[in-house]
């Protein structure tokens, strides 16, 4: 932890200066890599799967493992490595991608969401990943988060796949059974709160609590360039979301004292995130400074670099294939700086959870609130 802080504090100071345009951005601490856009789900909140339906040859454009290794080699240490999709476990070389991340990025946390449809594949690949981490970076935390948007057939309706709910439960229990052999393995469930389930959050949360999850995440359904859903009415009203979130806040506070330190820190950040997300929805502006494109970066399956997936295709920083896979060269380019200026000027706002957690870390009053929540839970 001390070594972590020694490295993180200088980065935070640099990020503050970089946001003002006084220095270069340095390297991000959080990388999200969408390893594929292929997905079996047909979610009401996301249309990413339609990309390959319209153009099946598009998958041939995905980065090969050799290209990914070159990119990772040019980046340096990353604290949080989020693997995203599509459905990440449909990428056949996902284990090899994580092995490359261990070798070149040395992440502290690897996080993978899943729709839980390919049950056997997910179980097999998870075991491979856990062995890879055990043998190559045994201090790295792995979290896997099956998605649960409702109960029984209502989940299947939102996700567009009959029988998906039963598969979520099956995958969840299979993953939980692995934990006794891998102490750094964290199993979560996650809900995307949309207009199709916002009124039923208490019912869903109670069901999840009874399952005995390590933690329960939720995020609000957003219109994102990445998901091709910017014209879709998916986001609940702020008042609906605030009412739903109040339940999560109470549950987290009731149970935090029974969690380990890693889980308490995670939940404390989550509590602060919820309050900020509500403010963003109500006030429709950046309620704290956003460090997208500085602290965080998003890489698409094709090597595009984005400040975040909300701006995504609308405000790309460039493609790594055009920069000979040299991340630092693209990251310090004039085009990348234009995107940072756009964000700094407050011309966008969103409650995206992944980025907001980093923004909290960079915002002293919000970070103090996190520390206060941790201390209260002791």
Q: What is the mean pLDDT of residues 204-227?
A: 88
Kindly tell me if the per-residue pLDDT of 177 is higher than 70: yes
Q: What is the mean pLDDT of the chain?
A: 92
Share of the chain above pLDDT 90, in %: 76
Give the neighbor-by-neighbor strand order of the sheet with 141-146: 215-220, 185-193, 141-146, 109-114, 80-84, 30-34, 296-299, 304-306, 316-319
pLDDT reported for residue 125: 98
What Å distances lie between residue 179 and 185, 200, 260, CA to CA?
6, 30, 15
H/E element holding 270?
helix 261-283
Report residue 3's pLDDT band, with 50, 70 and 90 as the boundaries.
Answer: low
Kindly give the interhelix angle for 65-73 and 94-104, rounded to the nearest 10 degrees.
20
What Å distances lie between residue 84 and 32, 71, 144, 151, 309, CA to CA?
7, 17, 11, 24, 11
Q: What is the mean pLDDT of residues 303-312?
A: 95
Kindly tell me if the per-residue pLDDT of 4 is higher than 70: no
pLDDT reported for residue 245: 86
Report residue 2's pLDDT band, with 50, 70 and 90 as the boundaries.
Answer: very low
Kindly tell me if the per-residue pLDDT of 378 is higher than 70: no
DSSP state string for 114-130: E---SHHHHHHHHHHHH
Higher-confidence position of 205 and 131: 131
Residues 277, 283 contacting (CB under 8 angstroms): no
Kindly tell me if the per-residue pLDDT of 1 is higher than 70: no
Q: What is the mean pLDDT of residues 202-219?
A: 88
pLDDT reported for residue 159: 97
Report residue 149's pLDDT band, with 50, 70 and 90 as the boundaries.
Answer: very high
CA gap 164, 173 in Å, rounded: 14
- Range with lowest mean pLDDT among 50-64, 112-126, 186-200, 318-332: 50-64
pLDDT reported for residue 250: 82
Kindly tell me if the per-residue pLDDT of 310 is higher than 50: yes
Token pair recorded at residue 306: 């984005």
243-247 contacts: CB < 8 A, separation 24 or more?
244/193, 244/198, 244/199, 244/201, 244/202, 245/274, 245/277, 245/278, 247/201, 247/202, 247/205
248-273 per-position pLDDT tens digit: 788 778 777 777 777 788 888 989 99
pLDDT reported for residue 54: 75
pLDDT reported for residue 136: 93
Higher-confidence position of 266 and 113: 113
């Amino acid at each position: 932890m001390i070594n972590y802080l020694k490295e993180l504090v200088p980065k935070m100071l640099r990020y503050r200066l970089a946001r003002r345009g006084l220095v270069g951005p340095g390297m991000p601490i959080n990388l999200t890599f969408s390893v594929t856009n292929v997905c079996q789900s047909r979610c009401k909140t996301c249309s990413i799967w339609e990309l390959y339906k319209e153009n099946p040859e598009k998958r041939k454009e995905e980065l090969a493992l050799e290209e990914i290794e070159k990119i990772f080699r040019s980046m340096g240490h990353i604290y949080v490595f989020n693997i995203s999709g599509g459905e990440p476990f449909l990428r056949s070389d996902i284990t090899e991608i994580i092995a490359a991340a261990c070798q070149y990025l040395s992440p502290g946390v690897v996080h993978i969401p899943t729709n839980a449809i390919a049950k056997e594949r997910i179980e097999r690949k998870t075991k491979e990943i856990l062995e890879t981490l055990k043998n190559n970076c045994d201090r790295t935390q792995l979290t896997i988060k099956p998605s649960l948007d409702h109960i029984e057939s209502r989940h299947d309706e939102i996700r567009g796949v009959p029988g998906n709910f039963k598969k979520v439960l099956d995958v969840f229990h299979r993953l939980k059974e692995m934990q006794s052999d891998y102490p750094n393995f964290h199993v979560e469930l996650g809900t995307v709160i949309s207009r199709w389930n916002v009124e039923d959050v208490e019912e869903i949360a109670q069901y999840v609590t009874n399952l005995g999850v390590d933690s329960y995440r939720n995020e609000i359904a957003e219109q994102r360039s990445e998901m091709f859903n910017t014209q879709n009415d998916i986001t609940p009203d702020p008042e609906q979301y605030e009412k739903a979130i109040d339940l999560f806040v109470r549950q987290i506070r009731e149970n935090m004292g029974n969690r380990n330190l890693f889980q308490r820190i995670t939940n404390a950040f989550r509590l602060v995130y919820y309050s900020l997300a509500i403010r963003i929805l109500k006030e429709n502006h950046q309620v704290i400074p956003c460090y997208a494109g500085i602290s965080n970066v998003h890489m698409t399956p094709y090597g595009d670099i984005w400040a975040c997936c909300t701006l995504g295709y609308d405000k790309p920083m460039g493609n790594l294939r055009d920069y000979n896979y040299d991340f630092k060269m693209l990251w310090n380019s004039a085009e990348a700086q234009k995107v940072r200026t756009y964000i700094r000027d407050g011309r966008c706002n969103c409650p995206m959870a992944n980025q907001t957690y980093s923004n909290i870390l960079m915002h002293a009053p919000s970070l103090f609130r996190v520390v206060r929540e941790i201390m209260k839970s002791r």
